[in-house]
A and B are shown apart, each in its own frame.
Chain A
Amino acid sequence: MSNERFFDLAMKVIAHQAADVERAELDAMLGSQPELRAEFARLETDARMTKDALPMMDAMEATAGEFPVYARERLQTKVRQTLGRPAAKQEPDRSVAWGWRRILGLTVATAVVLFVALPIFRAPGGPVIEVAMLDTVGTVRGSDTNETEIIKQQWKNSTFQSFDKTGRLENWETNWPEGNKVTAKVVYDRAVGEVRVSLHGLEKPQQRTFVIERDLAATIQEANAFIQEHTKH
């Protein structure tokens, strides 16, 4: 009886592929050569570990599946928070802002000059506005795209994301860009019928909820007015 025969029989038994006659042959081997029992046990362990490891190894060579677009902002925010921005991509107006802060502390006369000049040096377009919609029942993907258009029309240059799970939205809501740039996050909660606005980067963070009483367009105008009011200087 060769080692090869023992190995092949052991493999078949372990993989539940052995015929009765093959199982009997293996049992006879184990009975007549007790030292093979340890080898059989070792092969069983190897086989189990291999069955666990192979799918992980296959996964590393997987190519199917597309990265979901909605996750990009969350992950890029993590990149910015953890690794910072590359020097070439830093916002250009920060040093200017610091320069003006120093000047602000000098004299009353300078302050008057600054009062006139400051708007010129402020970042263009006011606060960063990020908008998201929560639609837990999935109607956003259906025929009712009008609401999405209303929101996009109001904040044309803003990022817009749609979420179908509260957990993902919460994660988005709590991920603020690094630095002290004033940022507004607007959430349209479709099921609840409200628009929430959170402002970050102000001396004191602001938050307000607008219940949709008439229509969405009117409510987001109220929300926008709230943002403008609290971010004007």
Chain B
Amino acid sequence: MNPPDLQALKLGDESAWDAAFNWLWPTVFAVAQLKLQPFLPDEVEDMAIEALEELVAKVRSVNSVEELKPLVASIAHNRSVSLLRNRFAKKRGAGKTESLDLPADDRKPKDEPAPGDSPLDSLAEKELAARLKKSLTELKPPQGEILSDFFLHGLRYEEIAKKRGVAVGSVGVYLKRGLEAMRRVWRQDENS
């Protein structure tokens, strides 16, 4: 699927927006699902639609079509985080903030958030979008794949080496370079 024509989007062209909605949907839905599925699964689709609505309002500030996916992903992420905070604040009483990513402590059900925010949750929408876009260019193949294999899928060095066709001794090197790239993008405030 090709990216939509940004100029046509800014002019409110109906068919360009139809193309954009189809092109952006997998991304915006995936982000909403990522944040809401464990807690508010019924809200995932509505959240994705609301994020697209907000994108419409912000499209005139976009400079290139490549910014659209990171921006809509950031909108969906931050809206989802706000929704979860509101719901959990209401549930447990106003004034308490909760992490949306860490496992709960022993006194709470395992499927509920625990104190301590994710580093991403504190980023403003534009900042988050910019870092997401930068991450995709900073991570050179197969660094991103190997980081995912190791941290998200729990594969061991030997399994990664076999899956990616690299030497076992190289897996650590890729992990190290990948982590350094991520640190440059996501912890730039601390690095500077």
Residue ranges of A at the interface with B (Cβ–Cβ < 8 Å):
4, 7-8, 11, 15, 17, 43, 45-68, 71-72, 74-76, 78-80, 82-86, 89, 165, 167-168
Question: CB of B73 within 8 A of chain A?
Answer: yes
Question: Can you list the 4 inter-chain pairs with the closest CB atoms, starting with the nearest?
Answer: A83-B12, A59-B30, A67-B25, A62-B26
Residues on the B chain within 8 Å of A53, using CB: 120, 131-132, 135, 182, 186
B49, chain A: closest CB distance, angstroms: 5
Question: CB of B39 within 8 A of chain A?
Answer: no
Q: Give the docked Cα–Cα distance between A168 and B10 (Å).
A: 26
Residues on the A chain within 8 Å of B151, using CB: 15, 47, 50-51, 54
Q: Give the docked Cα–Cα distance between A4 and B37 (Å).
A: 38
- Asked whether, in the complex, the Cβ of B147 is within 8 Å of the Cβ of A50, the reply is yes
Q: Give the docked Cα–Cα distance between A46 and B177 (Å).
A: 12
For the complex, would chain B's binding face be called helix, strand, loop or mixed by DSSP majority? helix
- Asked whether, in the complex, the Cβ of A86 is within 8 Å of the Cβ of B12, the reply is yes
- Contact flags (1/0) for B144-184 with A, using CB distance below 8 Å? 10011011101011000000000000001101101100110
Question: CB of B111 within 8 A of chain A?
Answer: no
- Asked whether, in the complex, the Cβ of B136 is within 8 Å of the Cβ of A60, the reply is yes
B64, chain A: closest CB distance, angstroms: 15
Q: Give the docked Cα–Cα distance between A66 and B29 (Å).
A: 10
- Asked whether, in the complex, the Cβ of B14 is within 8 Å of the Cβ of A49, the reply is no
A62, chain B: closest CB distance, angstroms: 4
Residues on the A chain within 8 Å of B92, using CB: none
Question: CB of B11 within 8 A of chain A?
Answer: yes
- Asked whether, in the complex, the Cβ of B118 is within 8 Å of the Cβ of A52, the reply is yes
The listed residue (B34, B57, B131, B176) touching A59 by CB distance below 8 A is B34
- Asked whether, in the complex, the Cβ of B11 is within 8 Å of the Cβ of A83, the reply is yes
Q: Which residue of A lies closest to B179 (CB)?
A: A46
Residues on the B chain within 8 Å of A67, using CB: 21-22, 25
- Asked whether, in the complex, the Cβ of B70 is within 8 Å of the Cβ of A60, the reply is yes
A88, chain B: closest CB distance, angstroms: 9
Question: CB of B1 within 8 A of chain A?
Answer: yes
Residues on the A chain within 8 Å of B21, using CB: 67, 71-72, 75
Q: Which residue of A lies closest to B52 (CB)?
A: A75
The listed residue (A46, A71, A74, A83) touching B187 by CB distance below 8 A is A46
Q: Give the docked Cα–Cα distance between A199 and B55 (Å).
A: 29
- Asked whether, in the complex, the Cβ of B56 is within 8 Å of the Cβ of A83, the reply is yes
Given the interface pairs A15-B154, A65-B25, A80-B12, the reply to whether A57 lies near B49 with Cβ below 8 Å is no
Question: CB of B97 within 8 A of chain A?
Answer: no
Residues on the B chain within 8 Å of A47, using CB: 151, 179
A221, chain B: closest CB distance, angstroms: 33
- 18 CB-based A-B contacts, threshold 8 Å: A7-B175, A8-B172, A11-B175, A45-B187, A49-B186, A52-B101, A52-B119, A53-B120, A57-B136, A60-B73, A61-B27, A62-B26, A62-B29, A65-B29, A75-B53, A83-B56, A85-B12, A167-B46
Q: Give the docked Cα–Cα distance between A72 and B150 (Å).
A: 39
Q: Give the docked Cα–Cα distance between A75 and B154 (Å).
A: 39
Q: Which residue of B lies closest to A168 (CB)?
A: B46
